[in-house]
Chains A and B, each alone.
Chain A
Amino acid sequence: MSAPKTLFEKIWERHEVVPETTDTPAVLYIDLHLVHEVTSPQAFSLLRQQGLKVRRIDRTLATMDHSTPTDPDEIAGRVPIKVKSAAQQIQQLEKNCAEFNIELLNLNSTQRGIVHVVGPELGATQPGKTIVCGDSHTATHGAFGALAFGIGTTEVGHVLATQCLLQRRPKTLAITVDGQLSEGVTAKDLILAIIGKIGVAGGTGQVIEYRGSAIESLSMDGRMTVCNMSIEAGARAGMIAPDETTFAYLKGRPKAPQGVAWDKAVQDWKQLRSDPGATFDREVHISGSELVPMITYGTHPGMVMPIDGQVPNLSGDPVFMKSLAYMGLQPNESLLGKPIQVVFIGSCTNARLSDLELAAKLIKGKRIAPNVRALIVPGSQQIKREAEALGLDKIFIEAGAEWRESGCSMCIGMNGDTVASGQYAVSTSNRNFEGRQGAGARTLLASPATAAASAIRGCVADPRELI
C-alpha cells in the first residue's frame, strides 16, 4: 500500500507534467484559468508580441469585476462609465477575449460577476482541479477540494500560452476546527479568528487544509468564505475536502459534468480527502464552539478582536501605534457603539445568497441609521436575480440601502465605489489595509450579520443582540 497522502498531495501529483528537481521547479498543469480585466492586459500584450496563441480556450474563462462599475445606470449604458481608465480596461478585455477567442462574461452577460463567485456558480470550479487566476483570492475555489491559488500577470501569460506553471511544492498546514459555531457566529468570524491566531504571515509558503466538524457543517457559501481569506494568513491556498454538501451544490450547474460523466466524477471526487495517517508539515487546532463575532480594529486582518473586546494596548510598538493612528483609535478602546458612516455588504468573501439572506433577516422592517450609507452589492448577476426573486432587494431598499449590480465595488475602490477619507466602514470584504477602500478610509472587517446590525444601529453593533 502506498503511503497515506494529504488532499493537497493527491491533487498536486495528478497535475505534475514534470516533477520538480533540485534544479528546476515542477511543471504543473492548470485545469481552469480565470481571467479578469485588471491583471490580464499586459499578459495579452506579451502573447501578441511573441506571436503566441491561447493554448486551451476551453480551460479559460473571463469576467469583469474589479474596475467594473456597480451603478445600474453605468452598466446599462444609460450614462458613461465614470472612471475613464476603467472603461478603457473593460474595453481592452473585450478586445483581448475576442481576438484570442476566450469566453467572456461581459457587461451584458446575465452570468457576469466577481470571478470567485462565478467560477463555482457555473460549476466550472470542481473538486480535484488546479485553478489559477491573476488574483490572490483564488483560494476561494479550494472550498470545493480544488488546488486554487493566485498568480501574477507574467504567470497569467505563462498559463495562457502553455496551460502550465513552474511551481515549487508548498508545505502543508492542517487547521482543524472542532465543535459547532454558535448562533450569530459565521464562517467570516471563524476565518478572522484563525487569522488572528496564526497571524498574517502564519501561512506563508503553505497550503492550508481546513477540517473538523465545524468546517464540515458549513454550507458551500461558508466554506468559500473561509478559503477565500487564506491569503490573509499569507497562505498560498486553502482547501476543504469535497463531500455530499459539495456534490449537492455542483449537481446540475451548467459547467459541471452531466449524466454518466457526473456519476463517474463523483466516484473520483470521493477519493479526494486526506488519508488517515497522512502527515502535514504543521497542525493547528481551534475550538469552534468558543468563537464569537469578530471585528478588525487595525490595518491588516490579523489585527482582529471579539466584537465586544477592547483594542489591545501595545503602545510601545510604533508600527502598531501608526496603524491605530490611521484608524483614529486608541489602545483599550471598545468598538461597540462607535459611530460609523458606511456599511458595505459585498465582495468575493461575503456577497453570496446566504450572506444577503442573513443581512436581510436582520434588516427586514427596520431602517438603516440616518448617519450611515449602506451599499449592498451581490457577488454576481445570478445572485442578484435570486435575491430579487426572494424580495431581498425590497427589504434593503425600503430600509434605505443601495442595491447594486454585481462587482468588486467598495472592496477595492477602483470602480467609483469608495469610502471617503476618515470615514469608518463596517465591511464584509477581506482587506482593511490603509487606503484599500479609498484614500484615508477606515475599514472594520466583519460578518454580514455584524455589518447589518451596525447599519441599523449606526454604530458598531453585536449581531447577537438583534437575532
Chain B
Amino acid sequence: MEPIRLISSKTVVLPYTDIDTDQIIPARFLTTTTKAGLGQHAFSNWRYQADGSLNPDFILNQGTAQGCQILIAGNNFGCGSSREHAPWALLDFGFKAVISTEIADIFRSNSLKNGLLPIVIDAENHAWLMSNPGAGLTIDLQNSTLSLPNGKLVTFNIEGFARYCLLNGVDELGFLMNQLDTITQFEQARA
C-alpha cells in the first residue's frame, strides 16, 4: 500500500444518516471474484435510474462533485454488512476519506486496511461540514488533524497501529506473519 500523509480536496456531502453498505454497493454486484472496477457500482441505486442512465439529481453525478476525494456523510456511515467491496468501491470511485460523527465498526476496519480514511469528528464541526458542501479540507494523518476553511483545526482519532501502517505503507499481514513463532507456542501451550 502507498503511504498516506496528507489529503487535500473539496468535500461532497451525502446528507443522510445510517448509510448502509447495501447503498454503498448493492449485493447484486458482489458476485465478482476480484476487487477491480467496483467504483462504477458505488451508490448504484441512487446514482442510476431504472433505465441505467445517470440520475442527474444525485449529488455524485453533478459537476461540483467531480474530483472530490472527501465524502461527508450523516451519522453511522457504513452500517450493515461486512462486505469489503464497500471501501473498494469508494476508493475506486475516487474517495480517500469519509467523515461522519459515527462510522460502523466493520466498515471502519475494512477501510483502514485499504487506505480509505474513516474519520469521526464532533457533532458541531460535522454540522458545519454538512452545511458547507464543497469546502476545501486538508487531512493531516501524521498529526491527526483536519483543517477547515473557516480556520478551525479539528483533531480526530485513528487507532494508533492502523495509523502507523497507513503512514508507512505497512501491511498488517506482514506484522502478523512476524508473530508466527509466538502463535505456534500459543497453539502448543493449549493443546
Which positions in A face B, CB cutoff 8 Å?
A: 17-18, 22-25, 27, 29, 38-39, 41-42, 45-46, 50, 66-67, 83, 85-86, 88-89, 92, 134-136, 150-155, 157-158, 161-164, 166, 168, 170, 200-201, 204-205, 231, 234, 236, 300, 302, 318-319, 322, 412-414, 421, 431, 433-436, 439-440
Indicate if the CB atoms of B82 and A88 lie closer than 8 Å.
Answer: no
Indicate if the CB atoms of B45 and A439 lie closer than 8 Å.
Answer: yes
Partner of B161, one of A23, A153, A158: A23
> Nearest Cβ in chain A — how far from B169, in angstroms?
15
Q: Is the C-beta of B20 less than 8 angstroms from some C-beta in chain A?
A: yes
CA distance A307 to B141 in the complex (A): 48
Indicate if the CB atoms of B106 and A151 lie closer than 8 Å.
Answer: yes
Indicate if the CB atoms of A158 and B173 lie closer than 8 Å.
Answer: yes
Closest to A170 in B: B105
Indicate if the CB atoms of B109 and A155 lie closer than 8 Å.
Answer: yes
Indicate if the CB atoms of A42 and B34 lie closer than 8 Å.
Answer: yes
Indicate if the CB atoms of A17 and B32 lie closer than 8 Å.
Answer: no
Indicate if the CB atoms of B45 and A201 lie closer than 8 Å.
Answer: no
Indicate if the CB atoms of B176 and A201 lie closer than 8 Å.
Answer: no
> Nearest Cβ in chain A — how far from B38, in angstroms?
11
A152-B113, A158-B173, A162-B177 known; A201 vs B76 contact (CB < 8 Å): yes
Indicate if the CB atoms of B159 and A27 lie closer than 8 Å.
Answer: no
Task: Encode B159-191 as 1/0 by CB contact (under 8 A) with A.
Answer: 111001000000011011101101100110000
CA distance A42 to B35 in the complex (A): 7
Indicate if the CB atoms of B176 and A86 lie closer than 8 Å.
Answer: no
Indicate if the CB atoms of B16 and A322 lie closer than 8 Å.
Answer: yes
Q: Which residues of B contact A161 (CB under 8 A)?
A: 173, 176-177
Indicate if the CB atoms of A86 and B104 lie closer than 8 Å.
Answer: no
A204-B104, A421-B50 known; A41 vs B34 contact (CB < 8 Å): yes
> Nearest Cβ in chain A — how far from B118, in angstroms?
12
> Of the 9-residue stretches B2-10, B22-30, B58-66, B142-150, which lies at the interface with chain A?
B22-30
Closest to A203 in B: B105
Closest to A50 in B: B173
Q: Which residues of A contact B161 (CB under 8 A)?
A: 23-25, 166
Q: Which residues of A contact B175 (CB under 8 A)?
A: 24, 166
A17-B182, A86-B31 known; A22 vs B113 contact (CB < 8 Å): no
CA distance A318 to B14 in the complex (A): 13
> Nearest Cβ in chain A — how far from B161, in angstroms?
5
> Nearest Cβ in chain B — how far from A133, in angstroms?
8
Closest to B185 in A: A17
Q: Which residues of A contact B17 (CB under 8 A)?
A: 319
> Nearest Cβ in chain B — how far from A277, in angstroms?
28
CA distance A317 to B26 in the complex (A): 25
Indicate if the CB atoms of B182 and A134 lie closer than 8 Å.
Answer: no
Please name 14 pairs of A and B residues whose Cβ atoms are closer than 8 Å in the assembled complex, sorted by A: A27-B179, A39-B83, A152-B83, A161-B177, A162-B176, A166-B172, A168-B159, A170-B105, A201-B75, A204-B102, A300-B18, A431-B80, A433-B23, A434-B45
